[in-house]
Amino acid sequence: NRIQIARNQHDSVRILLPSFSMVPLMLFTGRKGAIPSLLKEIVPLAKELKKNKILNTITALEKIIRV
């Protein structure tokens, strides 16, 4: 699993991007309950890396899916 390898290497970018790409996958496969735990990991990393586009997208997604 790419995310686990990145965690072991403490590589924030390699954790953030695949984790963020999992959000729509969880939504469309009916695993909406898994999204909050993903966001708990994604949001601090996005803030740390100053990835404002990801943060803005998360805000929009939260409004759409009501997480």
Res. 3 pLDDT band, cuts 50 70 90:
confident
Per-residue pLDDT tens over the stretch 32-58: 999 999 999 999 999 999 999 999 999
pLDDT above 80: residue 67? no
pLDDT at 64 (0 to 100): 83
Domain boundaries, the chain: 2-65
Q: Are the C-beta atoms of 37 and 29 separated by less than 8 Å?
A: no
pLDDT over 70, % of the chain:
99
pLDDT at 25 (0 to 100): 93
